[in-house]
Amino acid sequence: MSPDFRPAPGEPAVRSPELLRLVQAARVAPPPVLKASSDAVFAGFQARRRDRRRLVVGAAVAVAAAVALLWARPSFMSSRTGTLEPVATNSMQAPHVAPLPVLAEAVRVVAEEGPPAGVRGEWQVELGDGRYDVTVAAHAGPELLRVDTAGGTVEIAQGRVVIVVAGARTEAVLRTGVATWIAPGGARTPLAVAPAEASLDDAPDPKASPSDLARHADALLAAGRRDAAIRVLDLLVTTHPDSPPARAALLDLARLLKAASRADEARCAYALYLARYPGKEQLADEVEAALSRLGPGPACTDLRPR
Partner 1 sequence: MTSRAAVRDVESAAVLAAAQDGDRAAQAAIFEAYKERVARQVFRMTGDASSVDDLVQEVFISAFSALGRFRGDAQLGTWLYTIAANRVRNWWDSQRRRRRREDIASAHADDPVATPEADLEARQQRDHLYRALGELPDKLRESFVARAIEGMNLHEASAALGVPISTVSYRTRRAEQMLCAALGIPWRDE
Are 237 and 250 spatial neighbours (Cβ–Cβ below 8 Å)? Answer: yes
Which C-beta is closer to partner 1: that of 139 or that of 276?
276
Which C-beta is closer to partner 1: that of 39 or that of 105?
39
Which C-beta is closer to partner 1: that of 125 or that of 221?
221
User: Shortest approach of partner 1 to residue 70 CB, angstroms?
Assistant: 33
Binding-site ranges for partner 1 (CB under 8 A): 1-2, 5-7, 10-11, 13-16, 18-19, 21-23, 25-29, 31-32, 34-36, 38, 40-42, 44-46, 48-49, 52, 151-152, 168-169, 183-188, 211, 214-215, 244-245, 248, 252, 281-283
User: Shortest approach of partner 1 to residue 230 CB, angstroms?
Assistant: 16
Which C-beta is closer to partner 1: that of 109 or that of 217?
217
- What's CA 216's distance to the chain center, in Å? 20
SS3 163: strand
Which C-beta is closer to partner 1: that of 209 or that of 292?
209
User: Shortest approach of partner 1 to residue 267 CB, angstroms?
Assistant: 21
SS3 144: coil
Strands 145-149 and 124-126: parallel
User: Shortest approach of partner 1 to residue 100 CB, angstroms?
Assistant: 31
User: Shortest approach of partner 1 to residue 101 CB, angstroms?
Assistant: 26
Give the DSSP per-residue string, 183-237: -TT--EEEPPBPPPGGG--SSPPTT--HHHHHHHHHHHHHTT-HHHHHHHHHHHH
Cα separation, 82 vs 213, in Å, equals 62
Give the DSSP per-residue string, 72-84: H--GGGS-SS-S-
